[in-house]
Amino acid sequence: MEPGNYAKEDCRWCSGSAMDYQTGNPCGVCHGQGVVLVVMPPKACAACEGSGRTSPVEEIACTVCLGSGWAERFSVQSIG
């Protein structure tokens, strides 16, 4: 896909804060950016229903979306 077919959406693991609330470190899912690039149109991950977690009570990242909460994302280290 061409770069114009992506959009920035909040990281569901950190809720867009860019920080992991448990450790206080930068979020490992969005690399401290607070957002992830997702394929347009954005679709929530069906496996975790867009939460980024395996269940509402567990702090384990979804293995399908890797914690982002989005069905299709573009993995980058830094988003400008």
What band does 76 get if pLDDT is binned at 50, 70 and 90? low
Q: Is residue 80 part of a domain?
A: no
Farthest-apart Cα atoms in the chain, separation: 37
22-60: pLDDT as tens digits: 889 999 999 999 999 999 999 999 999 999 999 877 789
Residues whose CB falls within 8 Å of the CB of residue 19, separated by 6 or more in sequence, listed in order: 25, 26, 27, 32
pTM of the prediction?
0.80
In a domain, 79, yes or no: no
Instruction: Give the pLDDT score at 5.
Output: 87
- Residue 18 resides in a domain: yes
Residue 75, pLDDT above cutoff 90: no
Identify the domain containing residue 21 by its residue range: 1-74
Better-predicted residue by pLDDT, 78 or 72: 72
- Closest among 76, 79, 80, 49 to 65, alpha carbons compared: 49
Contact 13, 29 (CB under 8 A): yes
The count of structural domains within the chain is 1
